[in-house]
Structure 1
């Protein structure tokens, strides 16, 4: 059988696996990373229903014997670097998706490394041996199908989808395996008695467009037929940086919401400055108590990485949704800055340019040397640390 040459490598329960690696007493036990909100959960905790971004109290009700540990972002960053070193030792064609997953193209290695399945197995062995972490790998002809295969093979598995059987494999999966099918789209499809990817593939494209709209309709029809022409791209830089925080069901005071927003902006802009990048589009994403969502954006005249500039825009966007928040409640808030480039930061609002930029740089320097909690804003003193879940790149 013919094997595809795209690998999707995805670390299993990454943050929790790093904790279990570094503390042998945690191995085999349910582990939750984060307190107020679940930043990550081991598979032992997931088996009890614990999920990422779930409130800490709800998680402990589901799994009272879980061990809760604070996040150690430096340890996770180093582990990610070590794993990506293994990726690049395997093939020079690596496209990182996030801190814990990447696509690898191995089509040019057949003569020196063998079949893609052999390369994938060696990759798994190398990550386990050199970094001490479990990883799942999918092998397929397209990026989409490789990602699906790695997800199906979890935890710590490998799944090869032969080219001759890719539609047979894909069409047997539930519709939720299609990228872009969330709760709302899933319900629409199931209400129409469309429950598998094969059911989607059996529709005329116009039928899917009429049911879901042109964007989702064309997109899902292509995926149902495994039409994904995207190549693995080396050195692709993310178009945005962001973070989100699940604040749980309310009620939440305006001050509490503003504190969460400030903390998110602080972390996002610090990451931007560390990467030497600026952005011009500020976006906030909200999830309300009735599970509906809202996204609002504003594009600045010039790109910036200045904390106060981004915060002022984010506050204005949040204020525009105050009525909906009051009526429906708020359970999650996210902030991102898009249209990133590598230009020096400039301010787009009439602020004190010199002192603002210098203040950001000074705060960054102190935190880099003494830790992220060594210097905090006055409003954050005495408050529980909010855990920001990094958002995937756009």
Structure 2
């Protein structure tokens, strides 16, 4: 593997591979990933946390880790780990409940930096995105110049570090940011692809999960280089002929996926895992209303009308049920969403002799984007009065999520 990856720390800005002009017809793709984003924001707001293991997580009995900073990762703490396991591994850590409104605020600044170099932005989460800067090369001297502008702009405006990977496709750009973390800055040039890819464990390749990795290892394919050199019989035996062709292409460093901007939202969901099982229907209905408020607000903020409401119900320990129904008219009013979701919950509750819930969630899907100049159907059901939703969205947007809730949600307060 090239020496750039083996060096870490403050010298990361110099780890940029071979600086050169992109070839004609070649894309210029940047992958940006904020380092330990939630935990870094907490350290930014409370400098006394610097140098300490910081874990942002649900703090209840069934909480899950959202982000752990690099100090905490030394103890084996990682994202998606149960908070109880994290406490066992790192009893001296600082455990903080997530502040999503604050993270969104910082994310908006970060994405504002992206927009200064290209409109071609594919957001993957609050702290991660692909940028297609091919057209921007005419304004800047190189992809490295654009990447450095993004990295330094984020640092100047937020005080946070971002890892920046650059390449001629999404696969390699993401790999570059991963290999150079933390505070990374790396370009993988076309003539360097094999040097970076071949030594990596085959499980590092996108689309290769644990099952596929084990199958590949059984036929002697342990690294990406092994896969590239493997004969078709061995590869087909391990992952099947259909997956084999795609996988070989990826392992050669080939990826034709475009950067997709403004991708249509497939679903909007909110769920909650209870610290103690819920055994009373009124309490379950209160939590359901709380989730309906959240998904309704998010749909309204995006100007989306949903057709389908789904309810996710998990009995202890991990038996999960899903129920869904259509809204009478596509929309995003909390009252309408809750009416459908509540009916689904009540039917499920009545069908179980001893209903208990470990988790409850609501998801909206089947979206139609609304347009102000569309002619309304005079025979459609009357539109709901959204004035209460508008006031609630305005107050929560100014003072933070949950500042104003419906009275029915108050039963959930104090049980978080």
TM-score, normalised with respect to structure 2: 0.73
- Structure 1: gaps spanning 5 or more residues: 387-394
Could you say which residue in structure 2 is the equivalent of 1:164? 191
- My pick for the range that moved more, 301-310 or 52-61, is 301-310
Match of 2:403 among 355, 374, 384: 374
Task: Report the Cα distance in structure 1 between the residues aligned to 2:101 and 2:53, rounded to whole angstroms.
Answer: 22
Within-5 A mapping of 1:272-287: 272-282=299-309
Could you say which residue in structure 2 is the equivalent of 1:69? 96
**Aligned with 2:368: secondary structure?**
coil
Task: Report the Cα distance in structure 1 between the residues aligned to 2:81 and 2:410, rounded to whole angstroms.
Answer: 22
Paired residues, what number?
A: 379
Using a 3 Å threshold, how does the CA distance of structure 1 residues 196 and 61 change in structure 2: closer, same or farther?
Answer: same
Could you say which residue in structure 2 is the equivalent of 1:16? 39
TM-score, normalised with respect to structure 1: 0.76
Match of 1:6 among 29, 33, 38: 29
Task: Report the Cα distance in structure 2 between the residues aligned to 1:39 and 1:134, rounded to whole angstroms.
Answer: 18
- Structure 2: gaps spanning 5 or more residues: 1-17
Task: Report the Cα distance in structure 2 between the residues aligned to 1:340 and 1:262, rounded to whole angstroms.
Answer: 21
Work out whether 1:106 is the aligned partner of 2:106: no
Could you say which residue in structure 2 is the equivalent of 1:389? none
CA contact (8 A) 2:279 2:357 kept: no
CA contact (8 A) 1:205 1:221 kept: no
Work out whether 1:115 is the aligned partner of 2:138: no
Alpha-carbon offset, residue 363 of structure 1: 3.8
Match of 1:154 among 165, 181, 184: 181
Task: Report the Cα distance in structure 2 between the residues aligned to 1:215 and 1:381, rounded to whole angstroms.
Answer: 52
User: What is the RMSD computed on CA atoms of the aligned residues?
Assistant: 4.3
**Aligned with 1:381: secondary structure?**
helix
- My pick for the range that moved more, 59-68 or 140-149, is 59-68
Could you say which residue in structure 2 is the equivalent of 1:26? 49
Alpha-carbon offset, residue 43 of structure 1: 1.8
Alpha-carbon offset, residue 42 of structure 1: 1.7
Match of 1:46 among 73, 87, 90: 73
| Structure index of larger Rg | 2
Could you say which residue in structure 2 is the equivalent of 1:364? 393
CA contact (8 A) 2:29 2:166 kept: yes
- My pick for the range that moved more, 365-374 or 11-20, is 365-374
CA contact (8 A) 2:296 2:334 kept: yes
Within-5 A mapping of 1:242-391: 242-243=269-270, 245=272, 263-282=290-309, 303-307=330-334, 310=337, 312=340, 316=344, 335-343=362-370, 354=384, 357=386, 359-376=388-405, 378=408, 381=411, 383=413
Alpha-carbon offset, residue 264 of structure 1: 4.0
